[in-house]
């Protein structure tokens, strides 16, 4: 099914994209239940397909966003696909989309160059009954070379997913790093007055679209977390007035209790391989950290300080955890082996630290901090060096990294809501340098958790 000519993207990348769509039940071209990411080649230029190595870094793009021409792929759903691609690239702050008419044949590179454009997308959308075929090409304006050419076929209802995949490919080809647009955010949707709020487990695309409730709001729910290995969430629920951690299957909607602990179980997070969950359990006046094996439900205690040990998060390789604890007299961050043992304090700034989460890149730990009655959100290296505050506010908390580790989503709460009454709570995103903060259109919401790339 693949051409014998070398494809425009590495074979393993094409297989990853096809596999991701297959696991989501997309309709495929020649593959039952899956999507075929078919290579497209520029006429007479197949020998030049590998000439498009990225020349722009993320740091350069932060300073001067990459101008890219994004002509409409057509009308109707084709225009919608173009709009999503443009929004993904524009909203990350690293690209400057330029609208134009779709060229006939080879793009007019000289004209685009005079506009200051660095790249251009071309393509078309063909509706085939209940499925779509989206042809997409990416060109380097300066060299006139085709950097990428792929056709995607999927069910017509999945047009938005194809748009996010194309935006990821553009991000990757021009910046040399994995994109993050084809991902989702789980969160807590809030409604009603603050004293009697209804909370629902919810999920949306990373751009805030296609939001849907997963629970009915009968019980208070908090802190959803994605399983990196499958379509599953862990979260805390006050069901039957007993606060405990549950697992939610995104495919079936079924829920199950994660271990019937004597105390309250809370602050869950999956191991990187998805085979276990680490969480906190109250014991006396404190809380300890446990690991629960999902296959056997066997539990293992890894802290016993007599203090409040909570909010554990694994390093990407699963060898260490970061957590917060008041074992030293105030709430601070500690790193220790994932199997237990001695914990090393890493936070030494002014105030109390909480909500630590390890970056998927392994280079940073994000956290929230409370000092002098105000909140701030920051990052530091895993050894505690290089602490940087990214943003501050009345309440900023619950950081979560996007799949490539370049952006954080978090909860921002203002002191007054509509008409000066109550509190306004929403989800914002910010670059790890403190660049380009923006609010997601998720309404009253909190506790974001960013997934890996969709599977």
> Which CATH number goes with the domain that contains 152?
3.40.50.10070
- Strand ranges (E), 298-444: 299-301, 309-314, 320-325, 332-337, 344-345, 352-358, 365-371, 374-380, 388-393, 395-401, 407-414, 424-431, 438-439
pLDDT band at 159 (very low <50, low <70, confident <90, very high): very high
What confidence tier does 19 reach under pLDDT thresholds 50, 70, 90? Answer: very low
* Domain edge (last residue) among 175, 204, 226: 175
Q: What is the CATH number of the domain that holds 248?
A: 2.120.10.30
- Flag the least confident range among 68-77, 207-216, 391-400, 410-419: 410-419
CA distance 331 to 346: 12
Report the chain's mean pLDDT, rounded to a whole number: 89
Predicted pLDDT at 289: 98
Domain boundary among 149, 175, 201: 175
Q: Is the domain of 166 the same as that of 193?
A: no
268 and 151 co-located in one domain: no
Provide mean pLDDT across the span 233-244.
97
Q: Model confidence at 62, in pLDDT bands (50, 70, 90)?
A: very high
Residue range 437-441: mean pLDDT, rounded: 97
pLDDT digits (tens, 9 = 90+) for 63-102: 999 999 999 999 999 999 999 999 999 999 999 999 999 9
Task: Give the Cα separation of 294 and 155 in Å (integer).
Answer: 33
pLDDT on residue 422: 57
| Mean local confidence (pLDDT), 135-151 | 96
What's the pLDDT band for 35 if we cut at 50, 70, 90? Answer: low
Tell whether the model's pLDDT for residue 1 goes beyond 60. no
Phi/psi of residue 161, nearest 5 degrees: -65, -40
Among 175, 210, 242, residue at a domain's last position: 175
**1 domain-assigned:** no
Is residue 212 a part of any domain in this protein?
yes
> Do both 200 and 290 map to the same domain?
yes
Q: Do the domain assignments include residue 119?
A: yes
Domain span at residue 280 reads 183-453
Beta bridge partners of 222: 236
216 and 152 in a single domain? The answer is: no
Q: Is the pLDDT of residue 189 over 70?
A: yes
**Lookup result for tokens 């909140």:** 375
Could you tell me if 125 and 210 lie in one domain?
Answer: no
Q: What's the domain count of the chain?
A: 2
Q: What is the pLDDT of residue 196?
A: 87
Domain shared by 148 and 240, yes or no = no
Claim to verify: residue 170 and residue 252 sit in the same structural domain: no
Residue 100 lies in a domain: yes
Q: Is 33 left (phi over 0), alpha (psi -120 to 50) or beta?
A: left
The three-state (H, E, C) secondary structure of 147-159, written as one string: EEEEEEEEEHHHH
Contacts of 210 (CB under 8 A, 6+ apart): 160, 204
- pLDDT at residue 18 is higher than 50: no
147 and 224 both lie in a single domain: no
Q: Do residues 191 and 261 share a domain?
A: yes
For residues 107 and 160, membership in a common domain is answered with yes
282 and 397 co-located in one domain: yes
> Looking at residue 386, what is its pLDDT?
98
Q: 332-337 and 198-205 as β-strands: parallel, antiparallel, unpaired?
A: unpaired
Kindly state whether residues 190 and 308 are assigned to the same domain. Answer: yes
């Amino acid at each position: 099914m693949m051409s014998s000519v070398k494809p425009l993207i590495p074979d393993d990348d094409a297989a990853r994209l096809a596999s991701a769509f297959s696991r989501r039940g997309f309709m495929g071209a020649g593959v039952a239940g899956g999507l075929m990411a078919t290579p497209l080649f520029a006429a007479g230029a197949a020998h030049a397909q590998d000439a498009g190595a990225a020349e722009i870094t993320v740091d350069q793009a932060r300073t001067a966003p990459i101008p890219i021409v994004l002509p409409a792929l057509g009308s109707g759903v084709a225009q919608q696909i173009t709009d999503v691609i443009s929004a993904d690239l524009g909203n990350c702050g690293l690209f400057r989309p330029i609208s134009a008419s779709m060229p006939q044949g080879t793009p007019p590179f000289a004209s685009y160059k005079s506009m200051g454009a660095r790249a251009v997308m071309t393509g078309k959308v063909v509706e085939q009954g209940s499925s779509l075929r989206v042809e997409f090409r990416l060109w380097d304006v300066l060299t006139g070379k085709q950097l990428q050419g792929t056709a995607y076929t999927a069910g017509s209802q999945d047009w938005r997913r194809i748009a996010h995949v194309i935006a990821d490919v553009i991000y990757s080809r021009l910046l040399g790093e994995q994109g993050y647009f084809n991902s989702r955010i789980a969160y807590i949707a809030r409604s009603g007055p603050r004293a009697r709020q209804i909370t629902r487990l919810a999920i949306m695309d990373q751009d805030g679209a296609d939001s849907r409730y997963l629970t009915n709001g009968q019980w208070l729910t908090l802190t959803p977390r994605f399983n990196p290995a499958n379509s599953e969430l862990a979260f805390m629920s006050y069901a039957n007035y007993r606060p405990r951690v549950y697992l939610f299957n995104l495919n079936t909607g079924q829920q199950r209790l994660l271990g019937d602990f004597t105390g309250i179980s809370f602050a869950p997070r999956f191991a990187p391989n998805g085979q276990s969950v680490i969480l906190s359990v109250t014991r006396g006046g404190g809380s300890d950290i446990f690991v629960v094996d999902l296959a056997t439900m066997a539990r293992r205690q890894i802290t016993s300080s007599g203090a409040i040990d909570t909010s554990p998060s694994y390093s990407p390789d699963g060898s260490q955890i970061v957590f917060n604890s008041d074992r030293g007299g105030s709430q601070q961050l500690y790193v220790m082996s994932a199997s237990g043992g001695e914990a090393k304090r890493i936070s030494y700034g002014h105030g109390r630290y909480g909500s630590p989460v390890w970056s998927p890149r392994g280079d940073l730990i994000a956290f929230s901090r409370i000092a002098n009655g105000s909140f701030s959100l920051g990052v530091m290296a895993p050894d505690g060096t290089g602490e940087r505050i990214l943003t501050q506010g009345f309440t900023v908390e619950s950081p979560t990294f996007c799949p490539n580790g370049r952006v954080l989503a978090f909860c921002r709460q203002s002191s007054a809501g509509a008409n000066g009454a109550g509190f306004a709570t929403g989800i914002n995103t910010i670059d790890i340098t403190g660049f380009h903060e923006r609010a997601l259109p998720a309404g009253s919401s909190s506790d974001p958790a960013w997934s890996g790339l969709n599977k």
